[in-house]
Structure 1
Amino acid sequence: MLTLYRTTLAMCCLASLLPLGALAADAETPEAAAEATAPATRPPLLERSQEDAQALERRLPKAEQQTLQAGAEPFLALWKPANDSDPQGAVIIVPGAGENADWPDAVGPLRRKFPDFGWHSLSVSLPDLLADAPQARVEATPAAAPEPAAGESAPVKDTPADANANVAQATAADAEVAQGTDAEQASEQNDQADAERIFARLDAAVAYAQQHNARSIVLIGHGSGAYWAARYLSEKQPPQVQKLVMIAAQTPARVEHDLLSLTPTLKVPTADLYFATRTVDRHAAMQRLQASKRQKDSHYKQLSLIAMPANKAGEQEQLFRRVRGWMSPQQ
């Protein structure tokens, strides 16, 4: 009886250990080991412009929000229909770097004011620029000193003391030239990629405005948004856009063409609004005006503004009146 009890106990212990052995065997398989050692994948970080768009989605009425499609990339635009049975057209507002589609300086006030005067307003959001992303540095590898041939000893007395230094300097100079060429090519590629991405969004905005029977489309750019609006009209020349308004225009860093070279190429009536009280803006505006005068049949006009740091509401009202007055001179 004792022997039978011991045998039964041993069989029970063995049966209880079998699942543990199977688990251990599974854990030792290559697939299980790879899963255990693989690092957890993190979702890609959102662009700053995407975070801004999400903040606007939480804050603004859903009726104003429109998700437009630029190729395979969706983006947020803010739409306000004209409060008029017979709208004059649509204004498409392009914010500058670091701004969103409801930016309190120029962008938001204009998009809210124009519908009360017979214009649809569509304010778009632009992507982060690749040109502004930090670039990886490539360290130049110093060239190794040439090894002596078989049977020869390394020169000791006949080699000048600064010979190796001269070789190192020449090698470093060649490396710097090559690195500079690579950086220039990367900058050009980033600029072209940024332009294609932004142009796709402006194409989508123009198409959306056309869907609402906009008889006239005016492109309004603020800050660096004025640069991209001007470049879009210069390179693509869409027939649907009849006018351009540039407000406190700025040229982004590391772009192929600056605003000064783009201004004379514009084929549509253009209003260039600048703050005369800001020395840098006034000087840049003067250069653009001189460049426009060299062109025959230029439709370029400048309008000066007065900055009002202590009265931002008055400054925005001044801006709106100057823009509207230029767009509708008969009013």
Structure 2
Amino acid sequence: MPRALRLPLAALCLALLPASPAVLGEEDSATAPKEPASAVERAPLEERSQEDSTSLERQIPIRDQQRLKAGEEAFLALWQPANVSAPEGLVILLPGDGETADWPEAIGPLRRGLPNSGWSTLALTLPDPSDDPLPPRPLKTEEPTKAEPAVSPEKAQEEGPANTEQAGSAEPNTDPAPPPLSRDAIQKTQTDRVFARIEAALAFARQQKPKAIVLLGHGTGAYWAAQFLAANEPQDVRNLLLVAAELPAGYAPALEDSLPELKLATGDFYYKDQPADRDAALRRSHASKRQKHPAYIQIAMKGLPGDRTTEQEQLIRRIRGWLSLHLEAGTGKAPTDG
């Protein structure tokens, strides 16, 4: 056979031989489907109120910050002692839904303004509203490495069916999902958390031995203040102040149903130019008259949307006037049995 024909024939024979195990192993490893990556654990999301507290900790002087504990939860409170040698008492401030312990409406101005009138203040951070669920945290995606370059859209489209088949072959998670909580269970948990924080604030307030303790709520904080006093009846809290009171969505009873039963010295401040606030205040006034509440006083105010500074100064003056004229003196001591 001529030499010119031997070389192509040898090459053809080699091509027909089976590939060596080493070569097959390399090809299989390159084309074999990769093991599914282990699921990335989602870090628990912080509540918005916790994020707001973290922001306040960077802005508010350390001397004004108090870390209080309610059960297993620690939370931020802002403490401002009275700027006098003999304080008149202590006001605990409860912000409304979505507000912070230094909210620019009511809570912040009162927190800073009342100490100049002889009142210490303690502004709390309350938990997020129970009807405001946290958004899911997106799963982290790993950056493509040099060994595994990112797949182009065209390539991904071509390999889509194969990848889907491989993903479907993974063993599904058969663990049963926890049953969703009922609305009553969610509201009870929220109530317990809020009440625990108010109780922690009272424990701190009692350590200061004030002449009187006043509970003041703004917005939905007014509802929580009233419900706490109705449920717990602390003997050293004889005064309740409501500012632009609101009922949290889905909660009961309405304020006009619970306030007259308290029989505490109550100041109800509302904005008369807000129709919803005015109508709700009218219902509370009628209920207090039917129940012959001995010390319920409503104070109508005018909102000043174009001049918030003057509006807040007006609120401070009205609150200060109520405290000087209608305060029911307390012992300032923790209640005792018998």
The bucket for the TM-score relative to the shorter chain is 0.7 to 0.9
| Structure-1 separation of matches of 2:259 and 2:102 | 26
Q: 2:242 aligns with which of 215, 240, 246?
A: 246
| Structure-2 separation of matches of 1:195 and 1:330 | 29
Classify 1:257/1:131 alpha carbon distance in 2 versus 1 (closer, same or farther; 3 Å).
farther
- 1:328 counterpart = 2:312: no
- 1:311 counterpart = 2:312: no
State the partner residue of 1:92. 92
| Structure-1 separation of matches of 2:96 and 2:195 | 14
Q: Shift of residue 132 of structure 1?
A: 3.1
State the partner residue of 2:116. 116
Instruction: Specify the SS of the correspondent of 1:309.
Output: coil
Matching residue's letter, 1:186: S
8 Å contact 1:93–1:219 — kept in the other structure? yes
State the partner residue of 1:177. none
Which string of whole-angstrom CA distances, capped at 9 and with x for unpartnered residues, describes residues 73-130 of structure 1?
0000000111111111100000000100000001000000111111111000000122
Which string of whole-angstrom CA distances, capped at 9 and with x for unpartnered residues, describes residues 241-275 of structure 1?
12010000000101132222211222311110000
Q: 2:272 aligns with which of 273, 276, 295?
A: 276
State the partner residue of 2:70. 70
Q: 1:193 aligns with which of 189, 192, 197?
A: 189
- 1:125 counterpart = 2:125: yes
Instruction: Specify the SS of the correspondent of 2:268.
Output: strand
Classify 1:65/1:134 alpha carbon distance in 2 versus 1 (closer, same or farther; 3 Å).
closer
Q: Flag structure 1 segments of 5+ consecutive residues without an equivalent.
A: 1-32, 136-181
Q: Shift of residue 296 of structure 1?
A: 3.1
| Structure-1 separation of matches of 2:95 and 2:294 | 26
Matching residue's letter, 1:309: P
Matching residue's letter, 1:96: G
**Identity rate of aligned residues, in percent?**
46
8 Å contact 1:77–1:101 — kept in the other structure? yes
Classify 1:306/1:116 alpha carbon distance in 2 versus 1 (closer, same or farther; 3 Å).
same
8 Å contact 2:66–2:79 — kept in the other structure? yes
Which string of whole-angstrom CA distances, capped at 9 and with x for unpartnered residues, describes residues 110-157 of structure 1?
00011111111100000012233389xxxxxxxxxxxxxxxxxxxxxx
| Structure-2 separation of matches of 1:262 and 1:70 | 25
Q: Shift of residue 39 of structure 1?
A: 2.0
| Structure-1 separation of matches of 2:133 and 2:287 | 32
| Structure-2 separation of matches of 1:66 and 1:224 | 23
- 1:211 counterpart = 2:207: yes
State the partner residue of 1:223. 219
Structure showing the higher helix proportion among its residues: 1
8 Å contact 1:97–1:225 — kept in the other structure? yes
| Structure-2 separation of matches of 1:132 and 1:330 | 37
8 Å contact 2:45–2:134 — kept in the other structure? no
Q: CA RMSD in A?
A: 2.2
Q: TM-score, normalised by structure 2?
A: 0.71
Q: TM-score, normalised by structure 1?
A: 0.72
Classify 1:47/1:297 alpha carbon distance in 2 versus 1 (closer, same or farther; 3 Å).
closer
Q: Shift of residue 222 of structure 1?
A: 0.4
Q: 1:262 aligns with which of 242, 258, 262?
A: 258
Instruction: Specify the SS of the correspondent of 2:182.
Output: helix
8 Å contact 1:234–1:267 — kept in the other structure? no
Q: Shift of residue 42 of structure 1?
A: 2.8
